[in-house]
Chains A and B, each alone.
Chain A
Amino acid sequence: MEDFADKGLQVVVGLAIFAAIIGLIMLVVDRAPKSGREKLQVAGFLAPALILLAVGLVFPALQTSYISFTNRNGEFVGLDNFVWMFTQPEALVTLRNTLIWVVLVPLLASSIGLAYAVFIDRARGEKALKALVFMPMAISFVGAGVIWRFVYAYKGAEQNQIGLLNQILVWLGQEPKQFLLDAPENTFFLIAVMIWIQTGFAMVVLSAAIKGIPTEIVEAARLDGASAWQQFRNVTIPTIRGSLIVVITTITIGTLKVFDIVRTMTAGQYETSVVANEMYTQAFRAGEPGRGAALALVLFLMVLPVVVYNARLLRKQKEIR
């Protein structure tokens, strides 16, 4: 219990220091002399956030870019780390896996999410049905890792299975399988976890978009004798195109950065590593900050076009409004 009191005290002290800093800023900007008061007030409000961002994000990002050109002793080695990344088999596997992730997760999560949103639209119990699929969004990747490792759990053929998936294989008369150990298909079983998490996000956003479709359009299509499938293809999809793109790009960004699932389920072994996990392994476990930084930089370069595209799309939507 003493331990918890100690922790509580730390939190109280932390909050108090923070409150004191903010209070001091407010006091100073209020007491400022009339001339130049506006400037000082602006500076006082912006400074804490901007200083933190400069020191904690801008400067480190630049430094990481530099570190990516150095070796483990901090000596400048030019493009060596990038050459390593694009020639060594173990690094190439990482890149290949990341590519598979980034193609499959957005595609499948959005399709399943969209299908589900359409199927349950205005159905009885829609709210509850949504919550069921949406719930994994709230669960941490680590928690999801445990949940799914349990689904994939393996026991020898002569034993009772405790993993649901292997039990299903046994029921179907198959041999139980080491889902997470056998490359290359193990990557797909990790991807399934990410899809399980992201589908709810896609479903909720797309469902909101579907409900925003003006009823006149739907009715007109219906009067023209369009079938359910035709309505879906020619009315629903084009109308919610904007939301669909936002969903796909957002999931793409999240997938590129995926770390926790791989870390907790296989730790990147058995040829399942992805860029974000390998970055951590190299920088903080293998003592190769240069390689880690290079991987982080590549990650940045992969995320960049997606974010830019997303931002431009959002701006265009705003202009339309």
Chain B
Amino acid sequence: MSTVPLDNTNKLLPDVNDDVTQGQSTMQKRVRQRLTSRRATAAAIIIAVIWTVPTFGLLVSSFRPEANIKGNGWWNVLTDRQFTLENYADVLSPGGSQSPNLLSYFVNSLAIVIPGTVFTLVLGAMAAYMFAWGRFRGKDSLFIFVFALQIVPLQMALIPLLQLFTKVLKFGDFQVLPSGTYAQLWVAHTIFGLPLAIFLLHNFIAEIPGEVIEAARVDGAGHSTIFWRIIIPLATPALASFGIFQFLWLWNDLLVALVFSGGGADVAPITQRLAEIQGSRGGEWQRLTAGAFVSIIVPLAVFFGLQRYFVRGLLAGGLKG
């Protein structure tokens, strides 16, 4: 599979972590030495420090006892060496209604994000396949129209979509997408993710060699067989790249959650809870620091574990939001 030159968009851009140092001429080495002069290095280190210290301070603080967090700055840890896991126990445990109860919201985030990503990937790939290999009139203009939908900020859709879910899709007492469940969030996220999904996956699927698909057709395979047996396996790298992106985007979302989740512990994601705690008890730093770290641990794990795919997705599709 890796021998098929499918990944056109990405191949043109060298991998972010490529080490190009091999086989350099002495000339280039000298150029390099001049460019990475001492001042440049110093500037780079300053930038790296500014970019890292805020997160580091949060992490350190999350392990300090409440009195210490509120009493002095986290940079005092060298002299004030007291650490505890109590903050994490506190924010995660399902205490009374006053407790952050973050474990519950953490589960909600997973329950929203996993189906939301799967739905978008499957429906997006199906449409992308037809736009790439189907034969029908008006294909190109329809594709451009779907591409153009990326322009519509999701703010444009929120008010009517909420009305649609709560008023129009309701027959008597029966709500097609019941409030108080994840269903509305799944559908909303899927809708907002589709234009980019279709566009990116189309670019990839269209590069699959036509002979492969023709051969299957001659053997009498229909579209569904071709799609599941050939397209999906071959498009795995693109699905992975976009999937990671969609996963992170949904995990980090706040706006869609605020509008569709209702805000309770049974549906709302962790971002929403964290925003709530910030609004109502902004001085509870022992909770905020530990809570923030719980909420960013999954994206950070995905980021450090799958950085390569993450960067690829970024280079291929730009950024969403």
Contact = CB atoms under 8 A, between A and B. Distances in A.
Asked if A and B are interacting partners, one says yes
Nearest to B47: A116
A4 to B, nearest CB: 6
B142 to A, nearest CB: 8
Given A42-B136, A46-B130, A151-B54, A283 B41 contact: no
Nearest to A145: B278
Given A15-B118, A303-B153, A122 B32 contact: yes
Nearest to A275: B155
A139 B315 CA distance: 18
Contacts of B292: 142-143, 146-147
B166 interface: no
B318 interface: yes
A259 B126 contact: no
A187 to B, nearest CB: 19
Interface in A264-294: 264-265, 267, 276, 279-280, 283-284, 289, 292-293
Given A139-B296, A146-B289, A293 B159 contact: yes
Interface string A239-261: 00000001000110110110110
B151 A196 contact: no
Given A53-B195, A57-B149, A280 B255 contact: yes
Interface stretch (B68-76, B82-90, B208-216): B68-76
A267 B279 contact: yes
Contacts of A123: 36, 41, 44
Contacts of A138: 248, 296, 299-300, 302-303, 310
B153 A300 contact: yes
Interface string A43-68: 00110111011011111110111010
A293 B51 CA distance: 36
A199 B51 contact: yes
A67 B181 CA distance: 28
B149 to A, nearest CB: 6
B183 A14 contact: yes
Nearest to A6: B266
Nearest to B17: A127
B230 interface: no
Contact-residue bracket for chain B: 35 or more
Max count, chain A CB within 10 A of own CB: residue among B17, B28, B252, B318: B318
A119 B126 contact: no
B37 A228 contact: yes
The interface residues of chain B, by DSSP majority, are classed as helix
A302 to B, nearest CB: 9
B319 A201 contact: yes
Nearest to B277: A146
A293 B157 CA distance: 9
A280 B258 contact: yes
Max count, chain A CB within 10 A of own CB: residue among B74, B223, B258, B289: B223
A182 interface: no
A29 B223 contact: yes
A283 B146 CA distance: 27
A77 interface: no
Interface in B151-195: 151-153, 155-161, 164, 181-183, 186-188, 190-192, 194-195
11 contacts: A30-B222, A60-B157, A60-B164, A140-B296, A146-B292, A147-B292, A161-B73, A208-B16, A215-B28, A259-B254, A276-B155
Given A15-B118, A45-B126, A212-B14, 15 more contacts: A14-B183, A22-B122, A30-B222, A46-B130, A50-B127, A50-B146, A52-B187, A150-B61, A164-B53, A205-B315, A260-B255, A280-B155, A280-B258, A292-B159, A303-B151
Q: Which 6 pairs show the lowest CB-CB distances between chains A and B?
A: A140-B252, A56-B191, A138-B303, A60-B160, A49-B127, A119-B44
